[in-house]
Every structure is written in C-alpha cells, then in structure tokens.
C-alpha cells in the first residue's frame, strides 16, 4: 500500500485538453521543465486517471481508474473507483487511507509516509524535479515530448520515471514509472478541471464502525 500511494503522489500531474501541437525538435531538458512548471501554475485541479500495472510473472495487466483532486501545497485526494473502492486523503499533515468495501481506515503522518523527497514536494513545485532526478535530453514522439528521469540517490526506490509531455500544451499526459525491482506503473490523465477544489475535500472523518489501524 505504501508503494502504491508513493507512486501515485509522485505521478500526480495535471493535464488539459489538447491544443495545436508545436512543431520542431524537443527543447532542452531545463527549458522543457520550465515550460511544464509554468503550465502547472494553478493552485489546484481535478482530473480522471487510468492506471495500468503489468504483472509479468503471470502475463496480465492490472488496471484501475478513478478521480484525483490536488491543491497546493501538499493536499491530495485520490479515489479509486474500480476495481476496488479505495480512497487516499491527505491535508499535508495527516494521511488517511479508507477501504470503503472493507470498512477499514489506516491513518498516519503524511510526512513520515512520503519522506521529505516524496511526491508532494514534486507536485508543489515541478522545478524541484532536478533536485531528485537527472533528466536525459528530451526526445520527440509524435505529439509528445518524452523526458526520462533517473534518480540521483542510490537509495531511491524508483529506477526510472518517464514523462510524456504534450508538445502543444506542455501538459503531462502520461507517466511511466519503474521501480528498481522492475515493477512498472503507467498513469494516464484526462478530463482536467482547473477549478480550485474546496479544502473540505482534503479532510476526513472516520466513519462510525470502521476498523482503524496505524499506517506502517
């Protein structure tokens, strides 16, 4: 569960409706990151997501989908709708994980769960991506720029993150992350709404009768 939400927070980047695609080669990494950062200037957004996680050992791909809300600096609400109803909510200090189908709630410190270099910091300011990752020269793949990021620290659980950035809007439309153990997760975002979510979305009241456990 910790790995899942770590990846989700890292990869939570807004997207929007496509505009006309920019022609020409990819810009250098610093310019591309700056343009993405400018695009992410809004204080909050909501979007739908589709997640794919191949299980190579048994030859299948696990899929999930739902909706996410984000509000700076570190507030996230991530709701899985299928295959299981599972909600992750943080106000930047406390993290709640709610399994609606099992009536279980896990709670703990968001900072302890994510660590100082967790996804929340990356979401708050994409320009800090180079503090954690070394970017390769971007390449052009049809309507997207492809930016590959390699962690600087050997202790980082991620082995590689690849961002696909639309060449017309500079929105990140797809993210593929691979852990050092070879586990891959792909997130595709759609239906962006650039309306600041209410603060109430990032608080959580434990339902009556729920089984509450600490996050480990």
Contact 39, 192 (CB under 8 A): no
Helix, strand or coil, per DSSP, at residue 7? helix
What's the pLDDT tens digit per position in 26-50? 899 999 988 887 776 567 788 899 9
For the chain, the straight-line distance linking the first and the last C-alpha, in angstroms and rounded, comes to 9
User: Cα separation of 154 and 18, whole Å?
Assistant: 36
Mean pLDDT of the chain: 82
Tokens matching residue 113 = 């769960």
Whether 6 has a pLDDT exceeding 60, the answer reads no
Is the overall model pTM greater than 0.85, yes or no? no
Residue 73 predicted with pLDDT over 70: yes
Q: Is the pLDDT of residue 98 over 70?
A: yes
Distance of CA 200 to the CA centre of its chain: 21
Q: Which residue has the higher pLDDT, 38 or 82?
A: 82
Q: Report residue 120's pLDDT band, with 50, 70 and 90 as the boundaries.
A: very low
Q: Tell me the pLDDT tens digit for each residue of 7-16.
A: 555 544 443 4
22 CB burial (10 A radius; 0-12, 13-18, 19+): middle
145 has which bridge partners? 140, 165
Task: Indicate if the pLDDT at residue 23 is higher than 60.
Answer: yes
Contact 5, 78 (CB under 8 A): yes
CATH superfamily, region 2-214: Lipoprotein localisation LolA/LolB/LppX (2.50.20.10)
**Does pLDDT of 100 surpass 70?**
yes
Residue that wins the pLDDT comparison between 193 and 167? 167
Beta carbons of 3 and 179 less than 8 angstroms apart: yes
What three-state secondary structure class fits 114? helix
Mean pLDDT of all residues in 131-146: 92
Distance CA 89, CA 69 (A): 9
Q: 185: how many CB neighbours lie within 10 A of its CB?
A: 21
pLDDT band at 25 (very low <50, low <70, confident <90, very high): confident
Residue ranges of the domains in the chain?
A: 2-214
């Amino acid at each position: 569960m910790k790995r899942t939400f770590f990846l989700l927070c890292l990869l939570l980047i807004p997207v929007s409706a496509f505009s006309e695609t920019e022609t020409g080669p990819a810009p250098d990494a610093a310019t591309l990151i700056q343009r993405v950062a400018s695009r992410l200037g809004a204080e909050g957004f909501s979007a739908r997501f589709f997640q794919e996680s191949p299980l190579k050992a048994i030859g299948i791909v696990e899929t999930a989908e739902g909706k996410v809300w984000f509000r700076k600096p570190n507030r996230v609400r991530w709701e899985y709708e299928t295959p299981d109803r599972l909600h992750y909510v943080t106000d930047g200090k406390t993290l709640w994980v709610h399994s609606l189908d099992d009536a279980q709630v896990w709670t703990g410190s968001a900072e302890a769960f994510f660590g100082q270099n967790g996804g929340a910091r990356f979401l708050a300011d994409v320009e800090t991506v180079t503090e954690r990752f070394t970017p390769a020269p971007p390449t052009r793949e049809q309507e997207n720029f492809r930016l590959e990021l390699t962690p600087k620290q050997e202790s980082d659980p991620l082995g590689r993150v690849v961002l696909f950035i639309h060449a017309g809007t500079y929105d990140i439309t797809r993210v593929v992350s691979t852990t050092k153990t070879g586990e891959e997760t792909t997130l595709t975002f759609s239906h962006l709404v650039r309306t600041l979510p209410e603060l109430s979305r990032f608080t959580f009241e434990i339902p009556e009768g729920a089984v509450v456990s600490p996050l480990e």
